[in-house]
Amino acid sequence: MKIKKFDLKTHNIHSVADLILSAYSEGVSILPDDEKSSHMVQDLIEVGNNFLGHENIYLCFSKDDIAGVVIGYSGKTGSKLRVLLELLIKLRLTQLLNYLIVGSQLFHSGYTPYLEEDDFYISVLVVDKKYRNQGVGTSLLNEAILIAREKKCRNVILDVDNDNEIAKSLYKKFGFITRKEDYQPQSGSTYEGICTMEYRVI
């Protein structure tokens, strides 16, 4: 297994976009059709400077296949509305509603904790089904922590579904603990089942 930073010129952006979407496919009923969603995610990757921007993506390879993806960034992220509007202007979109739908599903500001300048947030960590239980998730998480350390971040923060025991078990083995937040999602909300975890880097 090798970890490489995503390169727009050499890596398959379509495969990366589809893998990112697969991380959110369970229980999602309002995303547009798969092809449109993939194109939208590709646009977000290409334009950069956002929660799916190419500059924040690292890939794990098994030979020539992309086995997994991790996306992480440090510092404050700004509000969901402001970030989405800036992206819409940059991309000159004609399908505004579809992008807003996809963005609301993928962007984590509904439950993402407030990020300090020295926090590192993992927005996506996904492993291709073919390569699960082969250490890909561990390799990607190790890489994210290494990047956070190089950036001199204090904490690594991520969100995980409360019922995803496999992922939670992996994070706990690394030393992640559940983070206590002032923000509490309302009962029945989209983010009610989300747990925020953190790892102390330094």
Domains of the chain: 2-200 (3.40.630.30)
The proportion of the chain whose per-residue pLDDT surpasses 70, expressed as a percent, equals 69
Tokens of 31: 């995303």
pLDDT tens digits, 69-128: 999 988 755 444 455 555 555 555 545 445 555 554 555 444 455 678 889 999 899 999
AA letter at 141: L
Q: Would you list the DSSP string of 111-139?
A: TPPPPPTTEEEEEEEEE-GGGTTTTHHHH
Q: Binning pLDDT at 50, 70 and 90, where does residue 13 land?
A: very high
The radius of gyration of the chain from alpha carbons, rounded to an integer in Å, stands at 16
pLDDT score of 7 more than 50: yes
Q: Binning pLDDT at 50, 70 and 90, where does residue 188 land?
A: very low
Q: DSSP strand E in 17-154: where?
A: 57-62, 65-74, 119-127
pLDDT score of 6 more than 90: yes
Q: What is the pLDDT of residue 75?
A: 74
pLDDT tens digits, 131-154: 999 999 999 999 999 999 999 999
Taking alpha carbons only, the member of 63, 62, 32, 37 closest to residue 52 is: 37
Taking alpha carbons only, the member of 74, 70, 75, 102 closest to residue 167 is: 70
pLDDT score of 164 more than 90: no
Q: Do residues 45 and 96 make contact, with C-beta atoms less than 8 angstroms apart?
A: no
